[in-house]
Amino acid sequence: MIDLKYLQKNFDEASVKLAKKGVDGETLEELKTLFANLKEVNSTLEVSKAEQNKMSKLFGQYKREGKDVAELKAKVDANKEIISTLQTKANVANVALQNIALAMPNFPDDSVPHGADESDNIELKRVMKPRVFDFEPKEHWALAEMNGWIDFERGVKLAKSRFSVLRGDAARMERALINFFLDCNAKKGFEEVCVPFINNASMLQGTGQLPKFGDDLFKIEGEELYLIPTAEVPLTNLYNDEILTAKELPILLTGYTPCFRKEAGSAGRDTRGMIRQHQFDKVEMVAIANPNQSAEIFKMMVENASDILTQLGLPHRVVELCGGDLGFSAAMTIDLEVWLPGQNKYREISSISNTKEFQARRAKIRFKDNKKNSLVHTLNGSALAVGRTLVAIMENYQNSDGSINTPEVLKKYM
């Protein structure tokens, strides 16, 4: 959640920032008004409550002294009415405020380039030259069929479309990749954790998936529980509603989880192959950091993910997201896009974001900094999306006969 006090005091500046992310001024204006109203109602309410508390204390005193309380009771009863009215007003205002505030995206960092969508993103650099093929490289679904690696039909039979089954060496390579990624992250100081793949609504709100993006989540019927769309949710919320000490920061976490997404807005996109599935494996990095550490950690996370791709021999590029392409919670994001020779283009394989204090404010993750409590910064990034890495290996390591070589670093894992 954005800082409403800041919005109040620096409305114009905040409007400019959020315009970068495509937020119209009207909603922002509404938010500001609601906030001001709530403050006013609350302050009058507080005065009445203070009055009520005083009178109640007096009431007890009168009783003990055997004095007559009839007159006082009349006063107290009248005040009670006023409080009840004000309280109702305050509750309504608060709900309205929360509804808008929780749906308001994060401020983009000042460094974030302007732009409307993906096409305005900025390529920072390319790592490794794509291999030159002396034959026409095939797309991964063709290779999958030739090698019996992916069973799309039976995946659909078991669940529905956008589910698939990995078989044989593909299944083993999926597992090898998970282990390889976790080991790489551990070397960079990330603690490995194994978490529930189902989280409750409050956690999903903490990281920003709820209330606005519920349509993209698989919900457990009859319960306030959801299949996680990314390990970012359980890893970040590990410290939900906690006050950490400055000493224990930064907390670096990594974990493997499957991710479940309804892909509600993606009908027709990437329908073929394994690029966009309802369930996919991912190894995630999360950092809970002191604000003065977060820039450096962000850089480290990007380098780590890029380094893993390099170790796997996968050409990729580093892309800085523009304001319009930035996710809801992110203040800044860098994507890594891997080269897919079969598709002849770069495709996202990792997304690393600094949400600054946006998630920390929602999830109430704070740290004690000489007596004072401050919000932490939270960062998250994939290292890496496992299924897409498998796809990248298939396309980059294919031979003319359709067979697929194993990347050197993966051999000891298989």
Partner RNA sequence: AGAGAGGUGGCCGAGUGGUCGAAGGCGCACGACUGGAACUCGUGUAUGGGGCAACUCAUCGAGGGUUCGAAUCCCUUCCUCUCUGCCA
Residues that bind RNA (CB under 7 A): 5, 39, 42-43, 46, 49-50, 52-57, 59-60, 63, 73, 76-77, 80, 243, 366, 368, 373
Q: Would you give the end-to-end CA distance of the chain in angstroms?
A: 44
The minimum distance between CB 35 and RNA, in angstroms, equals 9
Instruction: Exactly one of 51, 276, 317, 374 is catalytic; name it.
Output: 276
Is 126 one of the catalytic residues?
A: no
Instruction: Exactly one of 162, 361, 362, 388 is catalytic; name it.
Output: 388
What is the chain's length? Answer: 414
In the bound state with RNA, the residue whose beta carbon lies nearer, of 76 and 82, is 76
Fill in the amino acid letter for 161. S
In the bound state with RNA, the residue whose beta carbon lies nearer, of 63 and 299, is 63
Is 351 one of the catalytic residues?
A: yes
The minimum distance between CB 63 and RNA, in angstroms, equals 5
- Say if CB 254 and CB 283 are below 8 A apart: yes
Q: Which residues of 206-245 are buried (b: 16+ CB within 10 A; e: fewer)?
A: bbbbbeebeeebeeeeeeebbbbbbbbbbbbbbbbeeebe
In the bound state with RNA, the residue whose beta carbon lies nearer, of 106 and 164, is 106
Residue 140: which of 316, 404, 337, 385 has the closest Cα?
404
- Say if CB 147 and CB 170 are below 8 A apart: yes
Is 276 one of the catalytic residues?
A: yes
Stretch (H or E) spanning 255: strand 251-260
The minimum distance between CB 98 and RNA, in angstroms, equals 13
The minimum distance between CB 235 and RNA, in angstroms, equals 20
Instruction: Exactly one of 175, 263, 348, 374 is catalytic; name it.
Output: 348
Is 261 one of the catalytic residues?
A: yes
Burial label, 258 (beta-carbon count in 10 A; 0-12, 13-18, 19+): middle
Is 71 one of the catalytic residues?
A: no
The minimum distance between CB 212 and RNA, in angstroms, equals 22
Rounded Cα distance between 250 and 391, Å, is 33
Instruction: Exactly one of 164, 351, 353, 382 is catalytic; name it.
Output: 351
In the bound state with RNA, the residue whose beta carbon lies nearer, of 373 and 405, is 373
Degrees (nearest 5) of the Cα angle 203, 206, 207? 100
In the bound state with RNA, the residue whose beta carbon lies nearer, of 153 and 241, is 241
In the bound state with RNA, the residue whose beta carbon lies nearer, of 77 and 134, is 77
Helix axis angle for 25-65 and 70-101, nearest 10°, is 160
In the bound state with RNA, the residue whose beta carbon lies nearer, of 129 and 371, is 371
- Say if CB 407 and CB 176 are below 8 A apart: no
Backbone angles phi, psi at 258, to 5 degrees: -75, 155
The minimum distance between CB 250 and RNA, in angstroms, equals 20
Rounded Cα distance between 45 and 348, Å, is 51
The minimum distance between CB 46 and RNA, in angstroms, equals 4
Rounded Cα distance between 259 and 278, Å, is 8
Contacts of 365 (CB under 8 A, 6+ apart): 236, 239, 240, 241, 242, 244, 288, 359, 375, 376, 378
Instruction: Exactly one of 162, 261, 361, 366 is catalytic; name it.
Output: 261
Six-digit token string for 336: 């890594």
- Say if CB 226 and CB 204 are below 8 A apart: yes
In the bound state with RNA, the residue whose beta carbon lies nearer, of 225 and 409, is 225
The minimum distance between CB 177 and RNA, in angstroms, equals 25
Active site members: 261, 276, 348, 351, 388
